[in-house]
Amino acid sequence: MPKLRGISMQVSRPVCVDVPSETEAVVGNPMKLTCISCMKREEVSAETRVDWGRLVWNGSKDLQELSISILNVTMNDTGTYKCVVFRQFEFDCYSPSVTNSLVINLVMVYCYRKISKSDEQAQDTAY
């Protein structure tokens, strides 16, 4: 059964974006692409936007959990996914903007099932 495996990379510093390193899905099953954004100073208000590029992020009110789900993984889901987080901080005299992105490359990995002798004999007699 083919599997898709996720590989992540992290870029930039002021806003962190993170993903678990063991992201894997089986074709036909759901898969969650995790993107978590964090801000070091919680008392500072900020406007946050996220863009996943090839998939639409419906979002939640919690702008730290920015994950998306693929409900029925297919071979067409192989490719690059990019979670881009834009954050505009609101200080009294300064409003810096920070953009950070996380790239997830989904690659197809073939997994082979071992067939036992009894399965081979059953297949041979079925023909």
35 vs 58: CA distance, rounded Å: 13
Question: Per residue of the chain (127 residues), what is the pLDDT tens digit?
Answer: 555 444 333 333 445 666 554 466 778 888 888 777 765 556 567 677 777 776 666 666 556 777 788 888 888 887 777 777 777 767 666 565 666 666 666 666 666 666 666 655 555 555 5
Give how many domains the chain has, as a whole number: 1
What is this structure's pTM? 0.55
Helix count (H) and strand count (E) of the chain? Answer: 1, 9
16 vs 82: CA distance, rounded Å: 14
Could you list the residue range(s) of the whole structural domain that residue 41 is in?
3-126
* CATH number of the domain encompassing residue 81: 2.60.40
